[in-house]
Amino acid sequence: MFLGGLTRGSIYALIALGYTMVYGIIELINFAHGEIYMIGAFTALIVSSVLAFAGMSGLSVLFLAASVAIIYSAAYGFTVEKIAYKPLRQAPRLSPLISAIGMSIFLQNYVMLAQTSDFLPFPNLLPELTFLERYGLKIGSSEFIILLTTAVSMVLLMLLIKFTKMGKAMRATAQDRNMAMLVGVDVNRTISYTFIIGSVLAAVGGVLIASHIGRINFYIGFIAGIKAFTAAVLGGIGSIPGAVLGAFILGWTESFATGYVSSDYEDVFAFVLLVLILIVRPSGLLGRSTVQKV
């Protein structure tokens, strides 16, 4: 159960990071983010199927599928931002939110209509790690890979934010957009970059979880999105370590709750946690509550 929670948490973390980064930089809840994750999974499925039918197999399929999925998710994230959010940067908060919801619905149905509404089986692309056989009961290959990938991604992300020029630009824009513009930061590019990074992470999450669970459909983005969003809020939206922390807390809570209480209500826990956190401490665990300037 602990491991299950860890695994869940990892996936939520990958998606939650996208939410928290976007919110940090343009104060928008990107409802469509879950759909990016879903599209990543779908793209990977399509690519891997095509490759499989062409006779390829093994690790190369994984890498190709994952790479293509990442590229496409990034492309979708980028495009969605340009179309649905950029024109609304100066608009009151309601507008981009509604636009985001609209985009989410649009993407869901786009995939559903273009592909199918059924669940599609997803091949397990993740390699079997033989050295883990000893621990067969404790930890499986896919779980290990998921955890490893998540950990590596976190580290890479932290490095990026801290040390690269773009990372600095992102932090600056998140703190004060106008000031950032004045000191020469290309805000548009920075925002696009943020979306792209978030989408990449989501895609990775998508490929991993799809391999782990074995099937996908057009709706997985919605549920995963809400949960990841809960995680981001739990940890303090806008805070990157917060998103990760929140994700793991959520993952464990779900694991234990479904184990001990009831599995029917699995999804409810996320929502209840979300509502509670927003009521009790909207700034989240690691967030800072901002005083509104009058």
Partner 1 sequence: MNAFAQIRQSLIIALWFMFLTFPILAVRVNTIEKVVEWRWPNMIYVGIGSFLISFVWRYFLERKAQGGKQGTHTALLGEATVQAMTVATPSVQATTATEVTPAGQAGAQTAKAPATATGKPFMQRIMAEPRLYRPVLMVLSLFGLAFPFLPFASTYQINIVTNALLYIMLGLGLNIVVGLAGLLHLGYVAFYAVGAYSYALLYYHFGIGFWVALPIGALFAAIFGIILGFPVLRLRGDYLAIVTLGFAEITRLVLENWNGFSFGPSGIAGIPRPGLFGMEMDLHQVTIYIYFLMIALCLFTIFVVNRLQNSRIGRAWVALREDEVACEAMGVDPTMAKLTAFALGSTWAGLAGVVFAAKTTFVNPASFTFLESAMILSIVVLGGMGSIVGVIIGAFILILLPEYLRAFSEYRMLLFGLIMVVMMIFRPQGIIVGIRQIYEFKKASAKEGNRQ
Q: What's the CA gap between 201 and 210, in Å, rounded? A: 14
Stretch of 40-48, 157-165, 184-192, 197-205 contacting partner 1, by CB under 8 A: 40-48
Helix (H) or strand (E) holding 182: helix 177-182
Alpha helix (H) residue ranges in 57-140: 59-80, 94-114
Tell me if 285 contacts partner 1 by CB under 8 A: no
DSSP one-letter code for 134: G
Q: What's the CA gap between 48 and 64, in Å, rounded? A: 8
Question: Residue 50's Cα: distance from chain center in Å?
Answer: 25
Indicate the residue among 83 and 152 with the shorter CB distance to partner 1: 83
- Contact of 197 with 115, CB cutoff 8 Å: no
Candidate list 132, 160, 226, 285; residue touching partner 1; CB under 8 A? 226
Binders of partner 1 in range 10-29 (CB under 8 A) = 27-29
DSSP one-letter code for 263: S
Tell me if 121 contacts partner 1 by CB under 8 A: yes
Q: How many helices (H) and strands (E) does the chain have?
A: 11, 2
Tell me if 84 contacts partner 1 by CB under 8 A: yes
Q: What's the CA gap between 235 and 4, in Å, rounded? A: 20
Q: Encoding tokens for residue 207?
A: 């490929």
Stretch of 1-9, 42-50, 155-163, 192-200 contacting partner 1, by CB under 8 A: 42-50
Stretch of 110-118, 128-136, 168-176, 200-208 contacting partner 1, by CB under 8 A: 110-118
Tell me if 2 contacts partner 1 by CB under 8 A: no
Indicate the residue among 168 and 281 with the shorter CB distance to partner 1: 281
Q: What's the CA gap between 274 and 143, in Å, rounded? A: 26
Candidate list 7, 10, 99, 194; residue touching partner 1; CB under 8 A? 99
Tell me if 106 contacts partner 1 by CB under 8 A: yes
DSSP one-letter code for 9: H
Binding site for partner 1 (CB under 8 A): 27-29, 39, 42-43, 45-47, 49-50, 53, 68, 72, 75-76, 79, 83-84, 87-88, 91, 93-99, 101-111, 113-116, 120-121, 222, 226, 229, 233, 264-265, 267-268, 271-272, 274-275, 278-279, 282, 292, 294
